[in-house]
A and B are shown apart, each in its own frame.
Chain A
Amino acid sequence: MSRDRAIRFRIFPLKSIQSNISLAFSLLILAAIVLTSLVSYQVSVDAVERNSKGYIEEIIKQVNMNIQSYVDNMENISLLALTNKDVKYYISDNSFISSGDRRIYEKQISDLFQAILYTRNDIASIMVFGYNGRFVSDRRITNLNPNAKLQEQAWYKMAKSEGGKSVISAPHVQNIVQNEYRWVVSLSRELKSTDGITAEGVFLVDLNLSVINDICSNINLGKKGYLFIVDKNGNIVYHPQQQLIDSKLRSERIADVVQASSGSSFIAKDGEGKRIYSVQDTNFGWKIAGVAYTDDLIASKDELRNSILLYSLCGLTISLLISVWLSHRLSKPIKELQSDMKQVEKGNFDIQTEIGQMNEIGQLGRSFNLMVSRTKFLMEETIHNQENKRKSELLLLQSQINPHFLYNTLDSIVWMAEQKQHEEVVLMTSALAKLFRASITKDQELVPIRVEIEHITNYLLIQKMRYEEELDYYIDIDESILSYKTLKILLQPFVENAIYHGIRNMYGIEDGRITIRGRQSNDQIVFEVEDNGLGMTPEQLGKIRFNGEEDARNQGIGIRNVNERIKLYFGHEYGIHIRSEIEVGTCVTITIPKLE
């Protein structure tokens, strides 16, 4: 049994309604949660990306402003030099009287530069180179690098070609001073004479590249994010991995950045991963680009996903428990109904299932209760009917071996034998024998009408011989009904009644008469047993109809019994009808169906 169940459990893991409801709920909830989680994850990721775009843009703006402030500062220093009279005089064409005078100017200019430099540690050096070959720097003694040709320096050439406008160089190693190799960004500018036309020298301010380097490398754009700067021609000004790009170990989207307008951003996706480029223009020709890896915002993206997952798991757990509980609640009345049904299956019809709420299951329960009570009623009825049938059969049997009738008949035979009426003795004895054979030997309840008529004829023959002139009888049966079936010993009780109650008590009347008729009417067969005896008062008639039981003691089978027998076998529309009039006679009409 348990093994059988186990096997079924494996093949149909969800046989019960509860598990099915749980499963359906769980799947629905799962689908809903997965869907909302995915959507909210996507929405959040989009939001994170959008936010980080804005964030990167902000940072780069800040970087831009910082760098701009350094450049502005250099610009201001250059303006200071530009307007300084000493500088102007020093690099102008006029010749000094003595080197001593020159020294004074050099010292004054150098002091000025030193003062500036002292306040600004982002500036590496400040120098002025006159086209007349004189030069001053922020140091007292400046030894120029003999191997670095001034005229070939990029910043020098650019300043000359721009003619008075300041020029920002790309970062480079400044080698103009002997034994000094510094990474700087140079701002250079050609100086004009007082007339504003003649060019007289080049002014140089070097900004320590470390300043820009620090700004850029301290920017935090996520774990892997970084910032780089290109000039308008796409040359790298600053890139944390410039050496790798130079060695072609790494590529950078420089062309895209150069194309991009200030404040715009674009997304690049390749083998290195998805990244957001945000570009800002400085107003001296550089482009600053911030690069952030979207999966680097992973810190938040991962957390986001995990928290969403966590919450959905919690939600799922709770809703699964709820769904199990709900399905249990829903299926509980069904299970109760089921167990009640099992009781009925076992034969307990006294059960009435409890009806909770009047929902579908409540209605089901009500119908079940109705059905059970109806079944119970029918069952009881059937049992009752069976009892009655058996009782009536028993009575029938008794009636056939009615001892009075037998004694009387045997008395008659003895009497006739004493009278030596041999023929009558033979006749009566054979009729008696036929009578008993007909009723005892055959078990069937239903017999052809022919047999029943034979039986009643034998019976009447015996009675006729007993009562002689007192009794007369006529049998009038339609030939066509002889082969239809009827209940056994249907007519005998009525004939018996007619003789014992109707005719025998008619003292002095010689011609007691019993008429038996049989005919068909539509699909019924109608028998009539009519006598011209005493008849009955309506009171007696009522007694017979309703208290047949009392009569039965005296008369074998009661009228009511026969009536019941007919109804049991053929249905309620069949039965007997008694018509009687005092002093005139009684007529019993028996109606049965036509049965082949």
Chain B
Amino acid sequence: MRKQRFTIWLTLAVCTVAIYAIFNYKLIFGVSHPDRNVTVILKSLNVRLDFWQAVNKGAEAAAKEMGVELNVVGPLQENDANDQMRILEEAIAAKPEAIVIAPIIDDRLPAILAKARAAGIQLVVIDTPLELNPAPVLVSNDHMEAGKLAGRTAVDETKGHPTVAIISDRADSKISAERLSGLRQVLEPFNNSIIGVYYAENSEDTAYEAAKQLLAEDKPFNTFITLNESATAGVAKLLHEQNKSGVLSLIGFDSSVDEIQWLEAGTLRAAIVQKPFNMGYLGVKAALKLIDGNRVDPITYIESNVITQENMYTPENQKLLFPFINNK
């Protein structure tokens, strides 16, 4: 009797193991993770916004490298907070393992993100820091460092005597504020280096007018530093019109086709350019680390490059200024 029982148990055990192995070999040999998926929510998915398209590319590069299923979504308009929150809700409902979000700041957003966390979704915030408790992992451009870079470029351009007029968008813009504080850190040691900070919203014309007024006031300054794209364009237009390209240095942020042409023309002395591709790449990588339970730095900063007329066509800067090979 005992022997027969032993035989039966043995057979049963072997069969169980075999069946288990057939149906669950993925569980046993957890080598491949075909189920790892990450959703990236951008500020905008508009194909004409190079910055976000480059972030998208970076995210895709990371996804391919790590073998992850990637889903990139975002509102069509860059500042459509409502649409982004709707998209975020949808993403949470789909229950990805991680969400990488470039948040459009809104008071309602933290509550939704807390919901995502409660659902066990890992959270990575890119581009714009966000108040959330506990603080999410952040992958962002180092705007303060970028501000410092701009400040140092101004010092170099003016051979150590910077007197700077700063045109920003809004006083409450977080990115601009950080850039400004970086600038101040570099420039304040110099005497009377900052003659004023002016705000021109996101309007090229307002910036143009503000700069025109500054020039008319005949204040003694030698450098414009414009903290966003529209201000750069407005000031560049003015300097070009008034033939002041050689007299006044213009240092701007970000890149666009216009800015590239101002750079080529020499009107724009330097542009501080971010690396959105890297942001997307590192954002997704951070998310994967969180999924795998690895240690992640709470903040990953991405450096910026100073692009000038001289170095704009070096291989790496070309890639930064023209991230897409298929453009017309």
Contacts and interface: CB of A to CB of B under 8 A. Distances in A.
Interface string A1-33: 000010001000100101100100010000000
Contact of A148 (B61, B264, B322): B264
Contacts of B11: 317, 320-321, 324
B327 interface: yes
Contact of B15 (A210, A305, A317): A317
A324 B7 contact: yes
Given A224-B67, A302-B31, A309-B21, A236 B315 contact: yes
Interface stretch (B102-110, B118-126, B277-285): B277-285
Contact of B319 (A224, A235, A243, A298): A243
Interface string A238-274: 0011111011010000000000000000000000000
B164 to A, nearest CB: 25
B136 interface: no
A22 B31 contact: no
A145 B315 CA distance: 20
A173 B315 CA distance: 9
A179 B260 CA distance: 10
A213 B325 contact: yes
Contacts of A172: 313, 315, 318
Contacts of B316: 242-243, 246
Contact of B10 (A226, A298, A305, A324): A324
B275 A173 contact: no
Interface residues of B, number: 47
B278 A244 contact: yes
B146 to A, nearest CB: 15
Contacts of A171: 325
Contacts of B15: 317
B277 A173 contact: no
Given A170-B315, A181-B257, A236-B315, A302 B277 contact: no
A320 B13 CA distance: 11
Contact of B18 (A9, A18, A183, A313): A313
Interface in B53-76: 58, 61, 64-67
Contact of B264 (A147, A249, A309, A321): A147
Contact of A5 (B2, B21, B261, B303): B2
Contacts of A297: none
A22 B326 contact: no
A296 to B, nearest CB: 8
Contacts of A170: 315
Interface in B289-322: 303, 313, 315-316, 318-322
Interface in A109-147: 145-147
A296 B34 CA distance: 12
B67 A247 contact: no
A244 B302 CA distance: 12
Contacts of A295: 31
Interface string A275-296: 0000000000000000000011
A320 B10 contact: yes
A146 B277 CA distance: 31
Contact of B326 (A210, A246, A310): A210
A247 B316 CA distance: 9
A66 interface: no
A295 B319 CA distance: 31
Nearest to B65: A224
B190 interface: no
Contacts of B18: 310, 313-314, 316-317
A309 B14 contact: no
Given A223-B67, A320-B14, A213 B326 contact: yes
A16 B3 contact: yes
B94 interface: no
Interface string B145-167: 00000000000000000000000
A328 B8 CA distance: 13
B32 interface: yes
A295 B29 CA distance: 14
Interface of B: 2-3, 6-7, 10-11, 14-15, 17-18, 21-22, 25, 29, 31-32, 58, 61, 64-67, 257, 260-261, 264-266, 275, 277-278, 281-282, 303, 313, 315-316, 318-323, 325-328
10 shortest A-B CB distances, which residue pairs?
Answer: A246-B316, A147-B264, A183-B325, A313-B18, A243-B277, A324-B7, A213-B325, A210-B326, A317-B14, A147-B265
Given A224-B64, A243-B323, A247-B275, 13 more contacts: A16-B2, A26-B10, A145-B264, A148-B264, A181-B327, A224-B67, A244-B61, A249-B282, A302-B32, A310-B22, A313-B17, A320-B10, A328-B7
